[in-house]
Each structure stands twice: as C-alpha cells, then as structure tokens.
Structure 1
Amino acid sequence: MADLALTPDAFDLSVGTLIVGGGACGMVAALAAAEAGQEVLVVEADPVPQGSTALSAGLIPAAGTRFQRDAGIDDDPARFAADIQRKAKDENDPALVAALAEGAGPAIEWLADGFGLPFSVVTDFDYPGHSRRRMHGLPSRAGRELIDRLRATVEGAGIDVICERRVETLFHDGPRVTGAALTRPDGGTETVGCDKLVLACNGFGGNRDMVARHMPDIDGAVWFGHDGNRGEAVAWGEALGAATRHLGAYQGHGNVAHPHGILVTWATIGEGGVQVNRDGHRFWDESQGYSEAARVVLAQPGGTAVTVFDDRIAGIARQFEDFRNAEAQGAIRTADTLSELAEALDLPAEALSGALADIPADGTDAFGRRWSGQRLAPPYCGVRVTGALFHTQGGLETDGTGRVRATDGRPFPNLFAAGGAACGVSGAGDSGYLSGNGLLAAVVLGRAAGAAAV
C-alpha cells in the first residue's frame, strides 16, 4: 500500500535526510549525505539491507577511471554517453545520460578512495553495447559482496539504519514532502519527519498487476528480482503529481538456469556461445544482449532454450560466483562430443550439430551476428535456461541530481529518487538495456541525491 497524508501535528522523531531503501542506491546516498554533514536515517523493509543489488553481479560501468588506465583501456564519458544512446535508440534524456556518464568515474573512485572498495575492471570479455571494457566490480564479481561492503561502510560511519520498517505513507504539505509513516513487524507505526526524502526503495517488478499493465510482453517471465519491488515509489510520485518516464522499460535476463533459478553470466554468449531451442535450432542474434534475450527465449517452445558454449568459455565464466553456483548444482552439463551434450540436454543431436556447423568462422551469420576468431571446441558445455524479469527500468522522472520532476517540469523542493524508483537510461523497452545501467543510475544518482542541499 502506498498512501499520502497531510503533515501530522507532530512526528515521533525528525531527521535531516530520510532515505527509503537500503540497497546500493540507499547506502551510497547515505554515505554522500553524511559526508555533506547531514543527519541521515536509512529505513529498510528487509531484516538485512540487500535490495536487487544482492541478486546482481554488482558491476558498474564507468568511463575514464584510473582502473581503466591501469589496464591500458582508453575511454572517456563522451564515448560512454554515445554508447548508451546508441543502445537505447536515442530514447533517453540527453542531460541525464551526460550526468550519468560523467558522474560514473568520479563515483567509482570516490567509493574506492574514500571507503576502500577494491574495484577492478572486467578485462577478459565484452558486454553488449559497450565499445570499451568499462565494467567495474569487486573481487567476487557478485552484488552480494558490493552490498555487504556498503552496509559495513555505512555502519562504520555511524549512520543509522533501521530494518524491518516498511514505509506505507508519505506526509506532505503541497509539493514538499515532510516525512513518512513506518510500519513495524508488530503492525504498529511510527512517524519520521525530514527535511529531505530520498526514494531509493524499488521498482515494480514484484507487482504483477503493474507489470501486466506496463510491460505485457514480459508478463510471463520468471520474477527474478527482489520481492520488495512493489511500485510504491511510482504510486507516491504519481499521487504527488510527479512525472514518470519509460514505465514499459525493463531489464530481462534470458540466461537463467532452469529450473535451478541461477543467473548464468552472459560471458557464455559474448565469448562465442549460442542459444538453441528444444528442437536444436538457433533462433536469433544473441549478441544483442541478455535483456533482449528474455523475451526471445520465452517465445520459444516451452519458454526455454539451451545455451551452448565450451570449456574455454567456462573458464572465463568461473570468475562469477553465480556461474560457480550453477556448476555446483549440476545446471552446467559438460561432454566430450556434441552428440553426448545433446543427449544430456535432451536435444536432437543432428540439429544441434547443424546449428553449430552453420556458424561462419569469420563473417556474418543468417541472424546478423558477426563472428571472428575462435570456434567452439570440445569439451562442450550447455545449460538449459529461461527468461526472467530482473528489474524495471522506468520510474519517476528526475534530473541529474536525482531531484524528482513534476508533470509540469518543475522540480519538487525536497524529493529525490534514484535506483529502481527513478527512470534510468535504458530506453523505452528491453532493447535499450546496456549492461550495468541499473547500478550506474543507482550509484551516481544516489550519490548526487544524498549530497544535494535542500
């Protein structure tokens, strides 16, 4: 439930900056706000802060960082911004794209230098849409490590975080938000007044009614995101008269091990793997990206496909914790021949062999995918996958500081949104998704919103 109410006569307590949500966005906003000298309180519905970040690979794209320079990568924000707009078919607000592209590098280095987060660049494979290798992650390449380190950093900074408190009601006086009502596990409520409110709480992927209304082509996907993503931020914003943008945009993932429910890194495709349906036939240009894959895989017979790669690619994929988990649970099958792999995955052997034989060693295949270099070679690997909805990309319209805009374009005086609550820069549908854009917007806008003066 997401309600609005007029400001009560008194609050149980008051703070300078109230942050709703304890994922990566909320934690980054809290660190920035505290650094700016604000009194900060983070409220989180879960027993432990984690959010959608904990379910991801925790990778953040940034251009022009010292980590790239140390790895010999020549990159800059202008090139990054062009990549974002190209992938999103120029559907984004150029000012917001520029703010994110220019703010990403400083945000990564701020987290590294100020708080000791040991970022490094993924240098051994390319992500869809990026013309340079610019994905920054922590050693495990797991979002769980990122959120755990952020949580420990927030706690070490003495910032108050209250868990198991779901915000049900926002209080306001016209366009100014004045506080919130929190529901405790025992059903009781407490009220918190604030000078500034940062919505770092959620998208709406866990609200199936909203998904069916705004993105019907992905309605049948497995929900792989955080169950707290119920859409309250959008509901509060619309009730206050805020503008929304790209509510039909989402990050899907068409490489989720089935029925194990484990994300399988797109490196299995990006380094030369392919997808076939249960009849053993390829069905699309896999290089478009894993968000686009969700819808295409779901459209195959049975709503599943098989990702086929080899042991060389598996060696690259093992840097990701999720892939190692998939192997440990038996989702990844390995065989010395294609016939044996086909038998293990219940595929027609002749069709599978034909699908791989049709891939040119150098050139463009029948689906428009460009090939050059190594071919798949034994031992072969495969995993049965399905399509999933990971999180929504649309949301409240904001400027480059995370300030929410009203439908007439004017900014709210003290309302900010980032992370899943705000519209990102992935375009209007699934085709604009650029790897890491969700965390990019969460970290950069979260930092800006936390630091902004009221």
Structure 2
Amino acid sequence: MSTDYDIIVVGGGGAGMTAALFAQAAGASVMLLEADTKLGGATRLSGGVVYAAGTSVQQAMGITDSPQAMYDYIMTLNGWQTRPDIIRLFAERSAATVEWLVSLGAEYEWVVKSGVDTVPRGHCTVGAGDTIGRLLINEVGAKGIETALGTRVDRLLVEDGRVVGVHASGMDLRAKAVIITTGGFGNSPGMRARFFPSAAQHGDIVYSVHNDAPFILGDGIKLGEAIGAQITGHDTGLVLPSAGLVPNSVEAFLPPWCMLVNDEGRRFMPENSPYAVSGYLINEQSGAHAWAIFDEKTLVEGSADKRFSDPYHTGEVSQTWDEDLIRKHVESGKIRRADTLEALADMVGINRLALSETVARYNSDAQDGVDSEWAKQAPKYFPIDAAPYFAVEVRASVIGQTSAGLDIDTKGRVRDRNGVAIPGLYAAGEILGCVQGNRYSGGGMGVGNALTFGRLAGEEAAASLRVNA
C-alpha cells in the first residue's frame, strides 16, 4: 500500500503535538492536521496545570506521592465507574509527562491540591497553558514536523477494515495509521445536548472554557462513529459553577465569603469547594441551581479579597463578584435584594423557615471563626446579619471539559462497538471517553490526559509500523 505518511495526526492541540513528536522520535514520518489557523487547541487556553504523581518536582518540595496513591484516589472518587486499566496507565505514566515538560523548559514553582485529594498533584506550569502550548509548538517546529493548518478532516479512509488515511480539503491523504486528537465538543450545542445533558440543561447560558478554540466541536466523535467506533462516557465531564454576571466568564471558584443554599434553604457543600466537585453538587440540587446569600457588610468587605479566584497562581483574578458589578445587577433585577431574610427567601423561592435556621447556625459559626458543619476553610468568616440581604443564583453552566468520546485500549487503539481494536486508528486527549469517570479528579486531569495519552498514542502507532512492516 502506497502512503503519503506513516502517521497522520488529526488535531494540533496538546495531545496532537505530543503524539506527533513521539511518533517522529520513534522513526515515523508524520503529518499534523489542524482545523484552526493556529496550533495549541484547548491545552494552550488552559490554566497549565498537569495532574501527576511521583514527580521530581514533588520530591523537591518534600511531597511524598506515588502512582498507586493517585490510582487509588481517582478510582475511589469515581466509585470505580471508570476503567482501572486506563487509570493505572495514566497514573504510572503521569510523572514522565511532567519530566518531559521540564526537559522542554517548563518551570514549576507550585504543586497544589487541585481536587479533593490529600496530596498536592496539580503541577502549576509557570505561564499557564500558553507556556505549554508555546513549548510544544516550538518543539514541533524544531523537529521539522509537517503541519497543515486550516485543514478540517471530513472522514476517515477505510480499506478492508483498516484505517488507511483521511479525506480533508477535498483530497485523500494516506497513512499507515491515524491518531485522532481533535479535543472535545464543548462548543457544539447539538453535541452537548446529546452527550452532556446535565450541562446542556442550563440552556442559553451554557458556555465552554474552550470558546476561543472554535473547532472544539466533537469532530473526533463524528469521525469515529462513522466507522463503527464505540462512544463511551455519556454525560460525563467537568462543569463549573457560575453566577453568569459577566458574559462568557470562567469563575471556577465561588467566593468563601458567601453562604450557598438550595431551594430548601439548606447548605450542601463548603462554599469554596474545589471545582472538581462543586458543579456536580449544584446540579444535584432542586432545580439544578443554588443561591449565594450574603449581606451588605459582607458585600463591601468580602468582595475586595480576590485571592480565592487564583489558587493555581496564574496571575488571573475573578471577573465577577465585584461590589460595583453586583450593585449593577441588583438594579437590573438579576440579583435580588431585600431588607429581611424572610422577604429575600420569598422573593427567590427558598424555604424561609429552613433558611432562617441555616443562617442562625452559620452566624454562630462565623462568630467562632469555624464552620462546624461543612468545614469551609476561609480567611475570614462573615455573619449574615446586616441588611440589606442579597441572593445570587448560581448554576453549573460553564463546561470545563467534555468527557464523552472514543474508547481505547491500553495501547491507545480505538475500539469498535464490539470492543475490538480498529486497525490503524488511535486516539488521545479530550476526545477520549474512558479516562474520566463520573467525577473530575482535579485540576490538571485534562492537560495530563492530553500529554500522557498523546505520548502513548504516538509511541504505539509508531511501534505498530515496525510490527506490520
């Protein structure tokens, strides 16, 4: 069979560039196709956190960790509703991902607890995702890997049950193997409704953090489905809490100075819970929403402290929860204000008796400087006792990651609907539907997946060429 390249990589984000680099390092000729006019994808737009265990960076900071501990945490958090073989592979190979980034010039001054785990595993890249994207782009250029921008793949070429290339820009490109790394589907309303209904339920206010990467449209799912690939991970992904006060804003972390309650007037989580769990908890409440409650004194004093919004040390601060912005939305009617808590409860449909009891307990804890019920960690506790009172609706309407997608085996090969590996087809990154279970494990899982499984796909695709030679 005559071919144009040994391997074609479809998608030029973190997973695609990594796959291309390691495939070429293993001796394969590679073509990298990207639908956008630039490389980088969702990885370059990310916070640059890489989830990994047992790294030299952790060791230098005195952090004791291991792949086994990472595996145990992810499997437990997800109630074993994810693949043990895939998670073990991820855990065991994650440290090598960080070491490789360090070898390319990435720097790490912080490793944080990016989920609800007890060990800091979120490796915060100095310069965030832009640094990772730039390092990978420079490496692709330095290695002379051929790229074609503005090239969107229409379909996979299949002969005798084997993927032998792609059709893109009106022409066929043939290869011995194809790696799909097209990212998720966060920018596609149709795909969200089909594969991520718990996010899509919020309607027009749903927004993806990948909005500036216009081709995060689920192309990989369409390409795979057309040839019989298994699509797994239905209704999984990362949803972030948002008050929606700033259009298309990414908040991720709610301020620690508010009190969050459901329609029943009860608290149900620490207000500053990691976004790895907070969005899911909000979606599980009546009406799939919650109310941030605070008073006038808290608004004035609490809103001045923006430290809560940048735990990953990216230098960015929250675009929302400013005093002036909140007062503006009070006047617009989007935020409710009342002179008594009872009136506020009636105004927004909260059980007023339960809210009164919840506030009484909350205020008692605030006076003691400790959250006795939900163990919220806050620099200062503000009682809710100075009228007027405010209520801000919060929904889990921002998509941080979609996690439905292609199924792979431990060699990165895409499986069909019968669980059989499709010859010549590999995948990595957000297009995978078998990495995240029913919970996002912590900040850095997305980038960690892209780079770790991108490397796996590149190495295994190149290795298959030698076997089939």
1:290 paired residue number:
275
Secondary structure, counterpart of 2:446 in structure 1: helix
Change (3 A) 1:318 1:237: closer
2:184 to 188, 203, 207: 203
CA contact (8 A) 2:406 2:434 kept: no
For 2:398 and 2:442, the matched residues in 1 are separated by 16
Change (3 A) 1:333 1:241: same
1:442 paired residue number:
450
1:250 to 216, 234, 237: 237
Point out where structure 2 has 5 or more consecutive residues left out of the alignment. 345-357, 384-390, 465-469
Alignment of 1:149-298 (within 5 A): 149-183=135-169, 189-221=170-202, 222-224=206-208, 225=210, 226-255=213-242, 258-266=245-253, 272=256, 274=258, 276=260, 283-286=267-270, 289-290=274-275, 292-294=277-279, 297=282
2:105 paired residue number:
116
CA contact (8 A) 2:164 2:174 kept: yes
Letter in 1 for 2:411: T
Alignment of 1:79-90 (within 5 A): 79-90=69-80
CA contact (8 A) 2:196 2:236 kept: yes
CA contact (8 A) 1:258 1:384 kept: no
2:33 paired residue number:
43
For 2:339 and 2:274, the matched residues in 1 are separated by 27
Change (3 A) 1:163 1:384: farther
1:95 paired residue number:
85
Q: CA deviation at 1:161?
A: 1.9
Letter in 2 for 1:243: Q
Task: Give the aligned CA root-mean-square deviation in angstroms.
Answer: 3.7
Q: CA deviation at 1:425?
A: 2.8
2:306 to 291, 306, 314: 314
For 1:422 and 1:84, the matched residues in 2 are separated by 17
2:424 paired residue number:
414
CA contact (8 A) 2:252 2:309 kept: yes
Secondary structure, counterpart of 1:80 in structure 2: helix
Tell me the TM-score normalised to structure 1 length: 0.80
- Between structure 1 and structure 2, the one with the greater Rg is 2
For 1:67 and 1:322, the matched residues in 2 are separated by 18
Q: CA deviation at 1:182?
A: 1.3
CA contact (8 A) 1:278 1:306 kept: no
1:4 paired residue number:
none
Tell me the TM-score normalised to structure 2 length: 0.77
Aligned residues: percent identity?
Answer: 24
Secondary structure, counterpart of 1:122 in structure 2: strand
For 1:130 and 1:67, the matched residues in 2 are separated by 18
Q: Deviations over 1:16-43 (max 9, x none)?
A: 1111111111111112112212111111
For 2:83 and 2:25, the matched residues in 1 are separated by 29
Secondary structure, counterpart of 1:195 in structure 2: strand
Change (3 A) 1:78 1:278: closer
Letter in 1 for 2:184: G
2:375 paired residue number:
370
Change (3 A) 1:376 1:155: farther
2:347 paired residue number:
none
Count of aligned positions: 419
CA contact (8 A) 2:51 2:442 kept: no
Point out where structure 1 has 5 or more consecutive residues left out of the alignment. 1-8, 184-188
Q: CA deviation at 1:151?
A: 1.5
Of 157-166 and 61-70, deviating more is 157-166
1:6 paired residue number:
none
Secondary structure, counterpart of 2:18 in structure 1: helix
CA contact (8 A) 2:282 2:288 kept: no
Letter in 2 for 1:118: E
Q: CA deviation at 1:373?
A: 7.5
